[in-house]
Amino acid sequence: MSAIDLSVLTARQVRDGVASGTFSAREVADAAYARIEAVDDDVHAFLELSQDLAYEAADRVDAMRAAGDELPPLAGVPAGIKDNMNLVGTHTTCSSRMLEGYESVYDCTAVRRLIDAGALPIGKCNMDEFAFGSSTENSAFGPTRNPWDLERVPGGSSGGSAACVAAGMTSISLGSDTGGSIRQPGALTGTVALKPTYGRVSRYGVVAFGSSLDQIGPFGKSVDDVALALEAIAGADPMDATSAPEPVGRYTQALDLGAEGLRVGIVRDMLDLEGCAAEVRASVDMAAETFAALGAEVGEVDLPATRHGLAAYYIIGPAEASSNLARFDGIRYGHRVPDAADVIDLYTRSRAEGFGPESIRRIMLGTYALSAGYYDAYYGQAQKARTRIIEDFRAAFERFDVLLTPTTPGVAFHFGEKSDPYTMYLNDVYTIPVNLAGNCAVSVPSGLCSGSGMPIGLQIIADHFAEETLLRAAAAFEEATAFEPVPPLARIPK
């Protein structure tokens, strides 16, 4: 192993190596780009590399160390950025022909905070177009492949962000989660993936999908990685009215508290949903036994309204997406045909050429749900279901500190395996209720499937703004299970 083997080093180990002088931040950037050159032709995690920005950030860190200044918490840590987050000096395409060639004119707050904390912005990561998908097969620029098995998907929509961490190209990355788009790819790639509470992290500068659902969060190799990243990016932002004025916790300090005394609830009715693989169900029972052995109080709880979560989400999400994407009309933003006969022809052809099939499907669903005569029957009813889901979670957290569910019904599937939309949407059946309620949740690896050798993810859910409790539980489980994934390099032919 070289001094800087990003396939095994955590964010803290990279930061400590820079701080001690074992290696420089510039050498870390060199290692990241060398790793990308070696494996990303196979994985396709990145759409664009931002070497100039990364080396500028590295040189700032190295200059601080040379001057004897205190280093920021993520000094020299290489990071991937999902391509729906603006960063001046890069393009922001949302993996869509609609925004192909668009240059960022301002910075996403979360990305800027990550860089200000010393992270190196390595590049922009592939994703499902406009975050519509669960496999990254919907990218206009080609799919990302799972570093564990190149014939399988990495999940989505933040598939590139998950894959670049899993394959050792970066230590951390940022994704966005509207219905599971951080946690689901985290589970499928064996990474730790955190969706903070809605409002915990500013959404300013991220291209909106569902404005009442979207939240930015980090991927990492360990719970400590995502805790470090969350400390950097969390907090109120005057540029985002939905960001919360809640104080930012010292999340890393909660990681050593252990699970003793925690009240842990297994969401039994979600475990019994049709389509949940036997080994995935067994992994949750194993997790419950692990927490009990650690001194937690373990019980069971039902969340009956969550069975309506998928249906409610696919009304609310597309409705908000239809509104948010209306701006991409060939006039103000986005792809524009050069030879339109009139304004109707301009709108129709520009949007038909710019958007892919899944984007068109969701825009049409959302527009229909919001149309006159159908608003109350669909959108109004979906919002009522959402309220019931919020109430179920509120009642559960009166009894428990954290809840356990699978992150996904199964492990990573093969490309093309889930060809119809409904089968694809079912991948998010466990994650969507958390977005509808606005709670925080994290996916942590909980073992490997005996048949395929692919990672299984455990979802841990906590109450609003209870990230310290959430990460405390996740760290205790991580330490007790000592999950060590097979290095992805061994599975990437070269």
Catalytically annotated residue among 157, 171, 222, 359: 157
- Whether 157 is a known active-site residue: answer yes
Strands 455-462 and 440-448, by their bridges, are antiparallel
Residues 6 or more apart whose CB falls under 8 angstroms from that of 288 comprise 264, 266, 298, 404
- Whether 195 is a known active-site residue: answer no
Catalytically annotated residue among 24, 50, 82, 202: 82
C-alpha closest to that of 444 among 191, 242, 69: 191
Tokens of residue 281, six digits: 């169900």
Catalytically annotated residue among 96, 173, 176, 181: 181
C-alpha closest to that of 286 among 468, 430, 480: 480
Residues 6 or more apart whose CB falls under 8 angstroms from that of 178 comprise 131, 157, 209, 210, 213, 214, 215, 317, 435
C-alpha distances out from residue 157 to 104, 265, 354, 478, Å = 20, 28, 18, 25
**Under a CB-based contact definition with an 8 Å cutoff, are residues 421 and 428 in contact?**
no
Secondary structure of residue 133 in the 3-state scheme? coil
Cα(276)–Cα(201) distance, integer angstroms: 31
Q: At which residue do the structure tokens 């006159």 appear?
A: 372
- Whether 82 is a known active-site residue: answer yes
C-alpha closest to that of 400 among 259, 194, 253: 259
Partnered with residue 81 across adjacent β-strands are 124, 174
* DSSP tag of 85: B
Instruction: Give catalytic residues, as residue numbers.
Output: 82, 157, 181
